[in-house]
């Protein structure tokens, strides 16, 4: 399981998901979340932090 920005259109760039301990989360030029699947270790910590339901484990 990895974190996925399944509802990316809903991302408002609030960066409340900036909790990743392995640098798998970054933000693009419009401050939309970017998940680096190669770095993600599947801990799930980021998913519950998003107030907009953007992130899911898949
Ligand atoms: S699931 Fe864990 S390792 Fe993966 S992006 Fe979220 S916080 Fe980082
Ligand atoms: S917490 Fe959710 S809405 Fe905020 S930047 Fe992260 S994915 Fe986007």
Residue 24 Cα to ligand 1 midpoint, Å, equals 6
Return the pLDDT at 50: 98
Return the pLDDT at 52: 98
Return the pLDDT at 28: 97
Q: CA–CA separation, 27 vs 17, rounded Å?
A: 10
Residues 6+ apart with CB under 8 A from 35: 2, 3, 4, 5, 24, 25, 55
Instruction: Give this prediction's pTM.
Output: 0.94
Return the pLDDT at 29: 96
Residue 49 Cα to ligand 2 midpoint, Å, equals 8
Return the pLDDT at 25: 98
Residues 6+ apart with CB under 8 A from 8: 32, 33, 54
Ligand 1 binding pocket (C-beta < 6 A) is 3, 19-20, 22, 24-25, 35, 40-46
Residues 6+ apart with CB under 8 A from 14: 51, 52
* CATH numeric code, 1-58: 3.30.70.20
Taking CA atoms only, the protein residue closest to ligand 2 atom 3 is: 11
Return the pLDDT at 3: 98
Mean pLDDT per segment of 10 residues, for the chain of length 58 residues?
98 98 97 98 98 98
């Amino acid at each position: 399981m990895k974190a996925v920005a399944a509802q990316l259109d809903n991302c408002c760039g609030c960066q409340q998901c900036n909790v990743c301990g392995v640098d798998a989360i970054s933000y693009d030029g419009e401050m939309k979340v970017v998940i680096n699947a190669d770095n993600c270790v599947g801990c799930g910590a980021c998913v519950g932090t998003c107030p907009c339901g953007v992130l899911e484990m898949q």
